[in-house]
Amino acid sequence: MSSNSSQQDDLHSTLLDSISDSLREGQPEKVGELLNDMHPAEIAHLLESLPGSQREQVWPHVPDDSDGEILLHLNDEARAAIISKMEPEDLVAATEMLDTDDLADILPEMPQDVIQEILLSLETLERVRLKSVLSYDEDSAGGLMDLDTIIVRADITLDVVLRYLRRKGSMPKGTDNLFVVDRENHYLGILPLSRILTSDPQLFVAELMITNIEGILADKHAREVANLFEHRDLITAPVVDEENHLLGRITIDDVVDVIRDEADHSLMSMAGLNEEEDMFAPVFTSARRRSIWLGLNLLTAFLASWVIGLFGATIEKMVALAILMPIVASMGGIAGSQTLTLVIRGMALGQIGKSNSHRLLIKEMWVGVWNGLIWAIVIAGVAGLWFQNIQLGLIIAAAIVINLVVAAISGATIPLILKRYGADPALSGSVVLTTVTDIVGFLAFLGLATIYLI
C-alpha cells in the first residue's frame, strides 16, 4: 500500500474515532464541525463505516448543500435506510442541486409521492431529459450518460465557437471536447478544447474535428463502456442511439464508479454477498441472506460426504486414507480456483470468446498436468515416508494428478457454461467448482485405494 493511501486510511480512522467520541459524549455540534470541510464522497464513506444508530445521529449534521451528493455516493442499503427516515420536503430539497444523470440514479429509490413532487419541481426540458435517462437500464451507456453537453456544427468557424463559449459563461464539469453534429443532430465527431485554443480562429470546425471517435450505443453494457475507456484512454465519450443521434456523454468519473462496482461484485459474489450490502445491516437481515448461501454449500457438502460414504469400508481398513483425503480435495480446489479467477477476469474484460476459449482450455489443462506431476512427486514422497507405504504414496500421487487436471478443465469451462445459461459465474462458479473438485478428488483417491490397497 502506498504511503498516501495509508495516510488516507489513518485520517479516516481518526475521523471515525472523533465522531464516535463526540456522539458518546453528547456533543453532536462537534460532528458538524468535523464534516464541514469534507467532500460528499468522504462523508458517505464515513457514514457507511458507522453503525445504523450512530448514522442516524450524524445525518442531521451533514452540510445541507451536500446531502444530495452524499446520498448519491452511499451504497444502496445505507441510502435506502436514510431516505426512509427523511421528510418529503427534505428529500426534494436534497435533489435540487443534482445533475440529471445523478438524479436518475437515486430517483427510483424515493417514495412515490416524493418522486411526483420532484418531477413537478423540474422545468419541462429537465423533466423530459430525466425521463429519457430513466428509460435506459442503469447498467447501460444510456443509464450512465450525462445530458449536459456542448454541441457545435461543422460548418462554423472557431471564432464563432469561441464567442459562443464566452456568451455561455461556463462549461459542464469534465468537458475536454465539444461534440460536432449536423442539423438533424447526427453525431459527426469531436472537437478538442486544445484545438480550439491553439488553432487559427478562421478555420472551420470541419477542418479540425476528429472523426474516428465512434459514438457509444446507448444500450451498450456499462462493463463494455469501461473497457472502451480503458483501451482508448478516453476522458469523455459521446452516447448515440441506433440512428447515430447524439444523446449525451459519458465521463471518466462515471466509468471509475463502474470499474469499482465490478471489482466489488467479483469479490463479494464469491462469498455469496451483494456489493451493495450495508456492513452494519440488521443482524437478522444479514443472517437471512447468508443462510441461503450456506444452505447451498451444505447441499454440496452432503454430496461430497455421500461419495466418501461409498468407501466407508475402505477407510475403516486403512485410517491413513482419512488423514490424506483432505490434501487431494484441497489441492484440486486451489488449482481450480486459480483457473476460475483467471477466466472470470478474462470474461469481464472481454478477452475470452468462442475463438479462443478452446485454446485457453488446452493451455489450462496442460498447466494442471504439469502442476499435478510436480506436486504429486512431493506428496507421494511425504505420504510414503509418513506411513511407510510406497504404494499409498503412488496412489495419492495419481489422485493429485487426476484432480488437478479436472480442476483446471472445470475452472476454465464452468464460467463459460454458466454464462451461456444466464447465470453469474462470479456468484455460482466457486460453489460448482468446489463440488466438482471434492467429488473427483475423493472418487479418485478412495477408488484407487479400494482397487489397489484393499
Using CB atoms within 10 A of its CB, is residue 249 exposed (0-12), middle (13-18) or buried (19+)? buried
Backbone angles phi, psi at 123, to 5 degrees: -70, 160
Last residue of a domain, one of 269, 303, 338: 269
Sign of CA dihedral 276, 279, 284, 290: positive
Give the model's pLDDT for residue 60.
Answer: 86
Say if residue 204's pLDDT is above 90.
Answer: yes
Clarify whether residues 178 and 313 are in a common domain: no
pTM: 0.66
pLDDT-based confidence at residue 3 (cuts at 50, 70, 90):
low
Decide which of 119, 144, 169 is a domain's last residue.
Answer: 144
Structural domain that includes position 244: 151-269
pLDDT over 50 (residue 256): yes
Q: How many domains does the chain have?
A: 3
Say whether both 443 and 327 belong to one domain. yes
Give CA–CA dist 3/17, Å, rounded.
21
- Is the same domain home to 187 and 305? no
**Does 306 share its domain with 439?**
yes
Residues 357 and 419 in one domain: yes
**Spatial distance between the Cα atoms of 384 and 44, rounded to a whole number of angstroms:** 58
**Calpha distance 142→176 (Å, rounded):** 20
Indicate whether 430 and 296 sit together in one domain.
yes
Amino acid in the structure at residue 76? D
For residue range 17-69, list pLDDT tens digits in order.
888 888 888 777 788 888 887 888 888 888 888 887 888 888 888 888 888 89
Q: What is the mean predicted confidence (pLDDT) over 225-253?
A: 90
Q: What is the DSSP string of 171-188?
A: --TT--EEEEE-TT-BEE
The Cα 211–Cα 200 span in angstroms is 19
Residue 127 CA to residue 287 CA, distance in Å, equals 41
Strand, coil or helix: what is 25?
coil
- Domain CATH number, residue 140: 1.25.60.10
| DSSP classification of residue 190 | E
Question: Rounded to whole angstroms, how far apart are CA atoms 248 and 175?
Answer: 12
What pLDDT is attached to residue 404? 95
Task: Calculate the CA 408 to chain-centre distance.
Answer: 25
**Structure confidence at residue 1 (pLDDT):** 44
Please report, for the domain that includes residue 219, its CATH number. Answer: 3.10.580.10
**321 and 419 belong to one structural domain:** yes
**Predicted pLDDT at 367:** 93
278 in any annotated domain: no
- Residue with the three cell numbers 428509460: 135
Looking at 269, 294, 323, which one is the last position of a domain?
Answer: 269
